[in-house]
Amino acid sequence: MSSNGFAVDIASLLAVAGTEPNGSAQGTRLEPGEAEAFLDAYSQAVITVADKVSPAVVNIRTRGRAGPHAEGAGSGVIIAPDGYALTNSHVVHGAGRLEATISDGRAFSARLVGDDPATDLAVITLDADGLPAAELGDSDRLRVGQLVIAIGNPLGFQATVTAGVVSALGRSLRGRGGRLIEDIIQTDAALNPGNSGGPLADSRGRTVGINTAIIQGAQGICFAIPINTARWVAGLLIKDGRVRRAYLGVAGEERRLHPSVVRRGGPAVPTGVAVVNVITGSPAEAAGVRAGDVIVALDDTTVRTIDDVHRFLSRAPIGCDTQIAVLRGAERISLRAKLVAAPE
């Protein structure tokens, strides 16, 4: 047997099976322990993960929404024995009533603790304690090609297990509100409607992502939110019920800069964000930003697109003073704004 504990040579397998190398059967019956020797490392890893993680997976039923999608379903994963569970914002947002069923068949009423559409994450709490909770891993340590296992309830089929690999890291995905979600995990572990909110686990059964999206019509292109992002968002949702982000107060669009501006020592990139509207009473208005200005930097961060602005505001401390570099005509001007919390 090899050092990984799974691979055995052909002669040993035939001996266990009671079959000689020439193919003659001896009729020996396999004992449970001997049968496990036939499982290769891949199969054994998937089985072990399914056994470990499935008890922490919940089937979420939603009711009370208005419109054609009054009822819905999705998945979640319990992250604390006292009933806190992670899922997707789009699974539970706007639902009037939640019900969660775990793998042993027990059903519990649940309530929404908070959700964050910007990252498509939400936390619910089940009306129970002493529940099996998933072990959370470190998504920063993932490698392309690594084995991952998705568990969820696609199309109502509870505790469905699929396996694949990490296809790519650092993808970006547009959320339902238009904001860019960064550092997304791409996997070919098959996902279907109803998998949303379920765990993506590594070969040791540690949850490394929250399954969130598929590309309709594509084969094997699925996405999960890194657990390190989910861990941060979950902490804020449990503490405050929402994620507070900094707010500047401008509406803008990407605009290509005239080559002459760049040649005169302007920004090193050919685009910036042109301010279309300045919100009354906003930090941008107080700082003196005007419609027609082109934002090219926030503090030391170069601004090329609206996504660069969103990215900066997602990480900037609320209440901090921020330097805004704008082009006004051919002149580069530096303004200062005190960021506030984004309005709900």
Active-site annotation holder among 196, 282, 293, 308: 196
Q: Cα(340)–Cα(344) distance, rounded to whole angstroms?
A: 12
196 is catalytic: yes
Residue 255 vs residues 168, 251, 305, 334: alpha-carbon distances, Å: 30, 13, 8, 19
Active-site annotation holder among 89, 90, 139, 167: 90
120 is catalytic: yes
90 is catalytic: yes
Active-site annotation holder among 54, 89, 115, 120: 120
| Residues marked as catalytic | 90, 120, 196
